Structure formats: C-alpha cells, structure tokens
Amino acid sequence: MESLKVLAEVAFGRLDREMEGLTEEELDWKSCEEANTVRWMLTHLSYEWNILLSRFLGREVEAWPESYVGDPSLTLERIQRDLDKGRAIFDKGLKSLTPEVLEEEIQFFSRRTTREYALMQVLAEVIHHGGQFAHARGCMKRQRGGD
C-alpha cells in the first residue's frame, strides 16, 4: 500500500510541477506534425485518472464522452478541474483499500491480475505520459529561448 502512495505522489507531483505556467495557447502545441498535442496528452491523463484508476479501485465509473481525449473545445481550466477531480477520487479510493482488497484478482484489459498490479500499471502509464508532457514543455521553453 505504501508503495502505491509513493508512486502516486511521484506521478501526480511531476505533472503538477510541469503544469505550472501552462497557457491556453500552449494546449495545441506539438513537437512535430505526427505528435500528440499537449491538450491530447492532458485529456488522456485525465481519462486515465478519472476512468481507469477509478475502475481499478473498484469504484463506479461515470460515462465520459468518447470525444473527450483531445477535444479542442476543452479549456485549460476544465482540463485542470478534471485532473483535480481524478486525483481526489484516487486519493479517496486509495485510503479505503486494505491489503486484502489489493490482492483481489480483477480483470485488467485482456487478462486477470491483482488490483495492486493494475493500479501500479496505470500509475506507471501516468508517469510515462507525464514524461511526454515534461518533454513537450521543455521543447516549448527552448523554442521561446528559455531553459
């Protein structure tokens, strides 16, 4: 349980730091034509936090529109609010988990595994996409002549 808390803090904390100073205009930035936009990365992370983490915590999951990830009509404020909501759901759900619940077998996409493994895997995915976002922010800053 403690390792899940630490991994979550690393994953969420990194994104919090990278989002500091992000502007509405930067949401549609991408490093090259084939790359995902910053908006896509953040809405994908929001989906993972609100849907996947909730599902693997054993919580009821609300329906989200299929068009959510990358939706150009979503503002930075809305995306941030959705990310905050997902993190609050995760924090609350994590507090309710017991070692026995973490060891329960659940469906994880195409296979069965423990709830703890599924949560670790989704948090690793959050770290992965958080790294993509950090890279994008670094490229943006360098293009503007910053560090």
- The most distant pair of C-alpha atoms in the chain lies apart, rounded to whole Å, by 52
Distance of alpha carbon 115 from alpha carbon 98, whole angstroms: 11
Q: Residue 81: give its domain's CATH number.
A: 1.20.120.450
pLDDT digit string (tens) for the chain, length 147 residues: 788 889 889 988 888 888 999 999 999 999 889 989 999 999 999 998 888 888 888 888 788 888 999 999 999 999 999 999 999 988 888 888 899 999 999 988 899 999 999 999 988 988 998 888 889 998 988 888 865
Is the pTM for the entire model greater than 0.85? yes
Closest Cα partner for 12 from 64, 85, 68? 85
Q: Which residues span the domain enclosing 107?
A: 2-143
Count how many domains the chain has: 1
